[in-house]
Amino acid sequence: MHSNSKSSDGEMSFLQHLDVLRKHLFRSALVIAVFGIVAFSFNNILFDVILFGPLRPDFKTYTLFCKLSHALNMGNTMCFNIKVQHLQTLSVSEQFFNHMWIAFVAGLIIGFPFLLWELWRFVKPALRDKEIGPVRGFIVIASVLFIIGILFGYYILFPLSYNFLAQYALSDSGIVETHNTLDNYISMISTMTLVAGLIFEMPVLVYFLSRMTLITPAFMRKYRKHAVVVILIIAAVITPSPDVTSQMIVAIPMYLLYEISVFVSAWTIKSKKL
């Protein structure tokens, strides 16, 4: 495969493959670390502007939802009642380690395209000429889908989920009060945004699974109704109100992602037969 470190018969051994992969991953880790260090030094922007943005009443998601609610003659149904919250720390090291974690996450998000590029360079020698073009295209698409997923998680998934949970009350007595911690908030926002980014990689995952004939478009069409039910359940859980409009804002992108994956699977199976 690779021109260097080949065995006598011209093929690389398993350990040689691992050594080449290690070099690609090392370069990726180095780039992610550099971006993380840069992000660490811009903590005011990283936290005050980005991370703590959903805690402010003027956050873009809340204003857009409220404008949409009024435009649809729904009054304040989709408007958020955001109260300024103060996050607590329970240990002296909590702020520092969360600063390091978020800097790493920022470095990972920014460096994700480079990580994909290094993985592409690793698998490229094993591909036939007619396979190189499609796979290279999907590396670009994977990067774009990941960023879109991150934005979806940050602007839609997290704000809806967090405010629903923050305002959820077991009773109206007021006996139980919610005082969130910095650690819990950082864990929630970073997990949701990263998970959303990975979920948006579904078409890419389906592409490779279809190439290995582990999944087919017929299978995905057969279970489309099941997928729709799951998507609607997820949308109903994370939206702040029972109105259909806000649920559809979450459900429609997820359903479109599924339909795109069906198309990708069909295209992949068809191209293999050519």
Helices (H), the chain: 14-41, 43, 60-71, 94-123, 129-152, 158-167, 182-199, 202-211, 217-222, 224-238, 244-273
Average pLDDT over residues 6-11: 49
Contact 156, 248 (CB under 8 A): no
- Residues 73-103: tens digit of each pLDDT: 888 877 887 777 789 999 999 999 999 999 9
Residue whose C-alpha is closest to residue 138's, from 268, 274, 8, 1: 268
Distance between CA atoms of residues 62 and 166, nearest Å: 15
Q: pLDDT higher for 7 or 214?
A: 214
pLDDT for 171 = 78
User: Is the pLDDT at 198 greater than 60, yes or no?
Assistant: yes
Distance between CA atoms of residues 211 and 215, nearest Å: 8
User: Is the pLDDT at 122 greater than 70, yes or no?
Assistant: yes
Average pLDDT over residues 170-175: 80
Q: Distances from the Cα of 219 to the Cαs of 107, 112, 188, 207, 261, in angstroms? A: 37, 31, 33, 14, 12
Query: Which residues, 6 or more positions from 194, have their beta carbon under 8 angstroms from its beta carbon?
Result: 105, 108, 150, 153
pLDDT for 46 = 94
Q: Model's pTM, two decimal places?
A: 0.81
Distance between CA atoms of residues 244 and 248, nearest Å: 6
User: Is the pLDDT at 233 greater than 70, yes or no?
Assistant: yes
Q: Distances from the Cα of 180 to the Cαs of 15, 163, 172, 221, 263, in angstroms? A: 48, 12, 19, 42, 43
- Residues 239-259: tens digit of each pLDDT: 655 667 667 877 888 899 999
Mean pLDDT of the chain: 84
Average pLDDT over residues 113-121: 86
Beta-carbon count within 10 A of 85 CB:
16
* Least confident range of 6-10, 12-16, 208-212, 224-228: 6-10
Distance between CA atoms of residues 114 and 172, nearest Å: 51
User: Is the pLDDT at 1 greater than 60, yes or no?
Assistant: no
pLDDT for 72 = 85
Distance between CA atoms of residues 126 and 141, nearest Å: 21
Residue 51 pLDDT class (50, 70, 90 cuts): very high
pLDDT for 131 = 61
Distance between CA atoms of residues 164 and 65, nearest Å: 15
Distance between CA atoms of residues 189 and 57, nearest Å: 17
Residue 159, SS3?
Answer: helix
- For residue 151, give the amino acid letter: L
Winning range, highest mean pLDDT, from 101-115, 124-138, 206-220: 101-115
Give the count of alpha carbons within 13 A of 226, CB side only: 5
Residue 40 pLDDT class (50, 70, 90 cuts): very high
pLDDT for 50 = 95
Q: Distances from the Cα of 240 to the Cαs of 50, 124, 170, 185, 234, in angstroms? A: 22, 46, 16, 18, 12
